[in-house]
Homo-oligomer: A and B are copies of this chain.
Amino acid sequence: MDAPNGLGFVDETPADIKSFFDSAPPLKNDAEIRRKLKEFIERNHSSSENGRARRVVCVTSGGTTVPLEKRCVRYIDNFASGHRGAASTEYFLKAGYAVVFLHRRRTYQPYCRSLPEDPLLECFEVTSESNITVQPTHAKAVKEAISEHHAAVTQGTLLKLSFTTVFEYLQMLQLIALSMRSLGPRAMFYLAAAVSDFYVPWESMAAHKIQSGSGPLDMRLAEVPKMLSMLRKVWAPMAFCISFKLETDTKLLLEKADMALRKYNMHMVIANELITHKEEVVVVMKSGNITVRRDKTQATADIEDPLIKLIVDRHSAYISSES
């Protein structure tokens, strides 16, 4: 079991991390991601919001997968709808941040949370004049989704990057962190993605589909090295860092969140339970814990509204203290 050492950092060794990255299949679109990031950071670095340089947050969202076979048929998936990340992205954009939205493919997208699962087939119809029209009940939601989403992308304040496997996710997070390093304390990481804890190292992975018919299957999974310490110590040491702790067991939750805060030297850990995570979260900080609740007097209110307001305030204080 990892224990906090004297520095409050983890005892994952650089060798564990090097071995993870060495064993990872290389990113397919590495050059394109680097180019997009460079443009995005440069543009927002030189733009301003209310007379001050624009802040940039990397929001991670959705779950990562772990392939069990090289020619991937089977994989272990971490469930996450991506609702938290998509909603938070909207509130960060509203607060004037530029957002790198690092998300699992086919999870919730910003401004599309209130749409049905398959909006094309469920919201549209073809009229007798063979025009495509949106059904009146869905018109408002569909119009807002398309216009707000396009506006953010067109204005250059939203960059969407997608991943599937934990190998893709951690390599992309590293690229993003290194490119945001130059922003100093105005950079933020809001790590809402559900990252796999266990993986099969690429070199020990089955080359072909695992065969059935021979009785039970025994698997040994290695722990994914925690990259939070790399992010804080090496990749972007000045950035404001927020991680998430999701547990199904209430008793463990705050204890583990507090441990993560100290172990990885986070600025905040947001503790949430699977069942109540849309109603209530606990923001765990060195200065103490704050419980944030959704405004229940409004049916459509999001918990991310007060949560992002609190985070923006704390980020402002952090920027002041660092400059």
Which of A's residues lie within 8 Å of B, judged by CB? 1-2, 65, 68-69, 71-79, 105-106, 109, 112, 115, 117-121, 123-126, 130, 132, 134, 139, 142-143, 145-147, 149-150, 194, 196-198, 207-223, 246-249, 252, 274
Contact = CB atoms under 8 A, between A and B. Distances in A.
Contact of A142 (B132, B198, B247): B132
Given A119-B119, A119-B120, 4 more contacts: A125-B150, A198-B212, A209-B246, A217-B223
Contacts of A219: 218-219, 221
Contacts of A106: 106, 117
A217 B216 contact: no
A17 to B, nearest CB: 16
User: Which of A68, A132, A146 has the most chain B CB atoms closer than 10 A to its own CB?
Assistant: A132
A244 to B, nearest CB: 13
A78 B71 contact: no
A75 B221 CA distance: 14
A120 B125 contact: no
Given A74-B79, A134-B132, A142-B120, A1 B214 contact: yes
- Work out how many copies of this chain go into the complex: 2
Given A76-B76, A198-B212, A248-B71, A145 B121 contact: yes
B76 A72 contact: no
24 contacts: A1-B213, A1-B215, A71-B248, A73-B78, A74-B79, A74-B196, A75-B76, A75-B79, A77-B77, A105-B117, A106-B117, A112-B121, A120-B120, A120-B142, A120-B146, A121-B145, A130-B143, A132-B146, A197-B212, A198-B212, A208-B247, A209-B248, A216-B220, A216-B222
A197 B132 CA distance: 43
Contact of A120 (B115, B197, B209, B216): B115
A194 B73 contact: yes
Contacts of A69: 248
Contacts of A252: 208, 211
A149 B142 CA distance: 20
Contacts of A150: 121, 125-126
